[in-house]
Amino acid sequence: MADTHPDPLQRPLPDGIVPAEVVARTEKRWLGIMVAMLIMMMAVVVLTGVTHAISPPSNVETIDPTTLHLGGEFAESNLGTAQERDGSLTVRLIGGQYGFAPACTKVAVDTPVKFRLTSTDVIHGFLLPATNVNTMIVPGFVAEVRTQFNRPGIYRMPCNEFCGAGHHGMWARVSVVPKEQFQSLAPTERSSCVQQ
């Protein structure tokens, strides 16, 4: 009988005990699955970054947040949508506790849009749901994100970075209108859909 073998290691294991080599094989298999999952998740991060142009705000462009209103790119008269020579649009916005200026931005559909944003006070967030736009607005820096809207409509623009007691009420809109509705602007003109 096998269970009376003179060498105890050669006797069959009692019920419920898994032999060491089976345990080792199972552990190796699970290790392989874990490594494959890690590689897959890393690949998803890299692929979405490349194909959907989702990237952290990497352009380290500095600006003095205390003098924004005095002149330069983020002076009040320069905020809103500007049209570039090539027909693309540049939108300049300021985030501050607790709102965006301008609070409604108008852009054309199927047109490259570049958002340039900065903050007057603390860190805010700029998120356009269902697009690749999602960036932090850090005081002292200019955040730049590029996108293109393929459907006309109103896109809500919530602040998605906790910025204080009024954070939940900090939001604005982007109004995407058909190209023909978007009047061609003179190089110095700025457009917005804030009610005059």
Binding pattern for the stretch 77-116 against ligand CUA, x by CB under 6 A and - elsewhere: ------------------x---------------------
> With contacts defined by CB under 6 A, how many residues of the chain interact with ligand CUA?
8
For ligand CUA, the closer of residues 92 and 167 by Cβ is: 167
DSSP for 91-159? EEEEEETTEEESSEEEEETTSEEEEEEEESSS-EEEE-TTSS-EEEE-TTEEEEEEEE--S-EEEEEE-
Q: CB under 8 Å to 193, separation ≥6 — which residues?
A: 102, 104, 105, 106, 173, 175
Residue 67 contacts residue 154 (beta carbons within 8 Å):
no
Residue 80 and residue 90: Cα distance in Å, rounded?
A: 8
Taking CB under 6 A as the rule, does residue 30 contact ligand CUA? no
In the bound complex, what is the minimum distance in angstroms from residue 174's beta carbon to ligand CUA? 16
In the bound complex, what is the minimum distance in angstroms from residue 171's beta carbon to ligand CUA? 9
Binding pattern for the stretch 110-139 against ligand CUA, x by CB under 6 A and - elsewhere: --------------x---------------
Instruction: Using CB under 6 A, list all residues that contact ligand CUA.
Output: 95, 124, 159, 161-163, 167, 170
